[in-house]
Amino acid sequence: MLIDWFTVGAQVLNFIVLVWLLKRFLYKPVLNAIDAREKRVAAELAAAELQLTEIKKARDELQAKGNAFDEERGALLAKAILGAKMEAERLLGNARQAADAVTLQRNAALHSETERLSVELSRLAAAESINIARAALKDLAGADLEACICQVFARRLRGIDSSTKESLGVSLKSPTGKPVVTSSFELSSCDVIAIQTALNETFSADIHLRFETSSNVIGGIELSVAGERLSWTIADYLKTLEGKVAALLSTESVSGGIPAKTTPISASTLATAQPVSPVSDPNQDIAAAAA
């Protein structure tokens, strides 16, 4: 077989040209397109990775903010609960103080009213006692109550004990002493002379007295000088009665649960509380003076 080298050379040349053409116009654009695609894909993957990283970072920040919000919410809730508790305690304390103040005011008002009623009762009892004694003396012996009281007081001046006489004598004889005789009624001239004479004889001195009348001295006569006091009054016997009534009321309040300051005084209670004088019986003094 004969080989046509011209044909072989032409074919080889054609192949070389074809390869150059393919490489120049086909392979190189395809490779460039592939490289560009690979770069674009790599860039997109990098962008997606960066976006994913940013999303993870945002998620972490959001989770951290949520945790901080939960902690802050818990702290605020605990603070609100504590504040509400403290406010409730404060309001409760204010309410208790207001209730205590109202109770104190009510007790003070009750005590004041009880004291007023006690004073009124004492004055009423004294007035009634004086009226009864005056009527009894006039009916039975024809004696005058005021005169009997003056005689009893004069006799008491003469019969005072030595210690009282000594302390009262110092005050009476002092230059600054201003003795005053106070009575619940107007003294007659005879009564004034009788008291003045009894005082001068008791202390062996000429003592100048000033005589006054006052409603504070209940049914009696009182000698006062420089803080010293010597008296005979129905009020002294009423104090004993008041003490007995208070003791009975206190016993009744303990047994019955009624406050002693607000317990009403019944007639039977007053009847059982008979006054006992620490010195003597006023009826005996008046009766002896009338005799």
Contact 218, 239 (CB under 8 A): no
Instruction: Please report where in the chains the tokens 């004069």 appear, as a residue.
Output: 154
Task: Please tell me the distance from the alpha carbon of residue 148 to that of residue 157, in angstroms, as a whole number.
Answer: 14
DSSP-assigned letter for residue 209: -
Q: Which of 250, 209, 241 is nearest to 121 (CA)?
A: 241
Confidence of residue 256 (pLDDT cuts 50, 70, 90): very low
What pLDDT does 164 receive? 80
Report the run of H or E that residue 204 belongs to, with start and end: none
Q: Which of 277, 260, 257 is nearest to 269 (CA)?
A: 260
Contact 234, 190 (CB under 8 A): no
The answer, yes or no, to whether residue 287 has pLDDT greater than 70, is no
The answer, yes or no, to whether residue 275 has pLDDT greater than 80, is no
Contact 219, 149 (CB under 8 A): yes
Confidence of residue 55 (pLDDT cuts 50, 70, 90): very high
Tell me the average pLDDT across 189-205: 83
Task: Please tell me the distance from the alpha carbon of residue 43 to that of residue 286, in angstroms, as a whole number.
Answer: 134
pLDDT, tens digit (0-9, with 9 covering 90-100), for 76-91 = 999 999 989 999 999 9
What pLDDT does 136 receive? 58
What pLDDT does 262 receive? 41
Task: Please tell me the distance from the alpha carbon of residue 167 to that of residue 95, in angstroms, as a whole number.
Answer: 56
What pLDDT does 56 receive? 92
Count of beta carbons in the 10 Å neighbourhood of residue 104: 10
What pLDDT does 247 receive? 67
Mean pLDDT, the chain, integer: 76
Tell me the average pLDDT across 120-129: 73
What pLDDT does 251 receive? 62
pLDDT, tens digit (0-9, with 9 covering 90-100), for 29-51 = 888 888 888 999 999 999 999 99
Domain residue ranges in the chain: 109-290
Phi, psi of 66 (to 5 degrees): -65, -45
Task: Please tell me the distance from the alpha carbon of residue 68 to that of residue 62, in angstroms, as a whole number.
Answer: 10
Task: Please tell me the distance from the alpha carbon of residue 268 to that of residue 288, in angstroms, as a whole number.
Answer: 30
The answer, yes or no, to whether residue 143 has pLDDT greater than 60, is no
Confidence of residue 271 (pLDDT cuts 50, 70, 90): very low
